[in-house]
Amino acid sequence: MRPSAAVVLRSGARATAEELRAYVKSRVAAYEYARKVWITDALPKGPTGEIIKREIVPPPAPGGR
């Protein structure tokens, strides 16, 4: 499975998925950086505030694939 990243930007912050991918790619090994990066409003959390990883779903790919 290739690394992927769901990113929640801080209030007032601006960045695109491409900018984030390029930033990380320039700082880590080729096998470590996330190929799929998307920006979301919030991450799913359980009652204790922990992030529920299995509920993080990437948006559908362009073209329906």
6-58, pLDDT tens digit by residue?
999 999 999 999 999 999 999 999 888 888 999 999 999 999 999 999 999 88
Separation of alpha carbons 39 and 45, rounded Å:
16
18 with 40: CB under 8 angstroms?
A: no
Contact status, residue 16 vs residue 37, Cβ threshold 8 Å:
no
Which band of pLDDT confidence, cut at 50, 70 and 90, is reported for residue 65? Answer: low
Q: What pLDDT does residue 64 have?
A: 60
CATH number of the structural domain 4-55: 3.30.300.30
Higher pLDDT, 26 or 62: 26
